[in-house]
C-alpha cells in the first residue's frame, strides 16, 4: 500500500475512497439483512404456513352410549325440531336437539375447580392456554405388556435425552393407545374378576416434574382418568387432584395420539364457556410440523 501511494498518490486516494464506499455499502446491507431476519412474520404469513400442514383430530365424537366415569349418568338427547313434520317433539322446518349430559362427557376439559374449591372454573381459563406446543410421551408398548403401567419420571427423562428439554408452557399428552378400545365401555375399564379396573395412567413423580420443573400448561390422556385403574378402583385420584390443585386444566379421553409425533407439533384445545362451569366436552386437534 505504501509503495502504491508513493508512485500513484491520486490513484491511491481514489482506490481508498472506493474501498471505503464498498465497505459502507456492505455494512448497510448487513444491517438491512439483519433487520429483515429479525422482523416477525405477519399473521397472514403464519396462516399460509399453517394451512399447508396436516391437522389431526384428537377428539372422540360423543353420544349417549360412550364410555364414561361410572359415577356419571348417561347422556340424554332429544330432537325437538326436524326438517319434516311428525319427528321433532316441538316442531319442524329445521334440525335442533337438546343435549343433557354431565360436563365431564366424551373428550372433555377438567378445570381446576372440578376438584379444588375456589380455583378456576372452565370459563376462567385464558384463551392463551389453548394453543400450545405438543409433547407426546409414547408408552403404548409398555401398556400392551402391562395395562397397569404408569408414566414414570424415568420415562420423562428418557424423552428429554432424546428430544431435549420439554418446552415451558407445553401440553403434555400420554400416548397409551387405550383410545383404540373406544367406544367399548368394558374394554376401556378392563375390570378383573374382583372388579378392579386395569388401565394405565400417570405417576405423581412425573407430573410434579412436568408441572413444577418444566412448567407445562396442561396435560391429557386417552383413559377416563388421570390415575391408573388400580388406584381409582380404590377411590385414589391423587394425580388428578395434584394437576387441578396447581390451578391447571387437563383433557381426558383423547384420541389419535398414535398419529402425531413426540415433539414438534402444536395442539389447539377448545371448549365452550359456560359460566362457573365444572367442565365441558372439548374439541382438540394437533397441527403437525
Q: Is 161 exposed, middle or buried (0-12, 13-18, 19+ CB in 10 A)?
A: exposed
Neighbours of 160 (CB within 10 A): 13
> What's the DSSP call for residue 210?
I
Query: Rounded to an integer, what distance in angstroms lies between the CA atom of residue 207 and that of residue 211?
Result: 6
The grid cell for 246 is 396447581
> What's the DSSP call for residue 75?
P
Q: What residue spans of 109-228 are helical by DSSP H?
A: 140-145, 153-163, 185-189, 204-208
Residues with active-site annotation: 114
Query: Rounded to an integer, what distance in angstroms lies between the CA atom of residue 67 and that of residue 9?
Result: 92
- Non-local (6+) Cβ contacts of 34 within 8 A are none
Phi, psi for 288 (deg, rounded to 5): -80, 150
Amino acid at each position: 500500500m505504501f509503495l502504491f501511494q508513493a508512485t500513484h498518490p491520486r490513484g491511491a486516494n481514489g482506490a481508498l475512497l472506493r474501498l471505503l464506499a464498498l465497505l459502507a455499502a456492505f455494512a448497510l446491507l448487513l444491517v438491512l439483512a439483519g433487520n429483515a431476519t429479525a422482523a416477525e412474520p405477519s399473521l397472514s404469513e403464519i396462516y399460509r404456513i399453517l394451512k399447508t400442514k396436516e391437522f389431526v383430530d384428537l377428539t372422540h365424537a360423543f353420544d349417549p352410549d360412550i364410555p364414561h366415569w361410572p359415577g356419571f349418568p348417561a347422556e340424554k338427547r332429544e330432537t325437538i325440531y326436524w326438517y319434516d313434520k311428525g319427528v321433532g317433539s316441538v316442531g319442524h322446518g329445521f334440525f335442533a336437539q337438546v343435549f343433557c349430559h354431565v360436563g365431564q362427557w366424551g373428550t372433555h376439559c377438567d378445570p381446576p375447580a372440578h376438584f379444588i374449591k375456589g380455583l378456576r372454573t372452565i370459563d376462567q381459563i385464558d384463551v392463551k392456554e389453548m394453543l400450545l406446543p405438543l409433547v407426546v410421551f409414547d408408552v403404548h408398548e409398555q401398556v400392551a405388556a402391562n395395562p397397569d403401567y404408569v408414566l414414570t419420571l424415568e420415562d420423562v427423562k428418557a424423552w428429554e435425552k432424546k428430544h431435549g428439554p420439554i418446552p415451558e408452557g407445553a401440553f403434555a399428552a400420554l400416548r397409551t393407545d387405550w383410545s383404540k378400545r373406544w367406544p367399548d365401555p368394558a374394554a376401556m375399564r378392563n375390570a378383573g374378576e374382583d372388579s378392579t379396573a386395569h388401565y394405565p395412567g400417570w405417576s405423581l413423580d412425573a407430573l410434579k416434574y412436568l408441572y413444577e420443573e418444566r412448567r407445562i400448561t396442561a396435560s391429557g390422556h386417552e383413559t377416563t382418568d388421570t390415575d391408573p385403574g388400580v388406584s381409582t378402583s380404590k377411590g385414589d385420584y391423587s394425580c388428578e387432584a395434584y394437576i387441578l390443585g396447581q390451578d391447571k386444566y387437563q383433557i381426558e379421553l383423547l384420541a389419535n395420539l398414535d398419529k402425531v409425533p413426540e415433539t414438534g407439533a402444536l395442539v389447539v384445545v377448545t371448549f365452550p364457556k359456560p359460566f362457573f362451569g365444572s367442565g365441558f366436552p372439548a374439541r382438540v386437534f394437533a397441527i403437525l410440523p
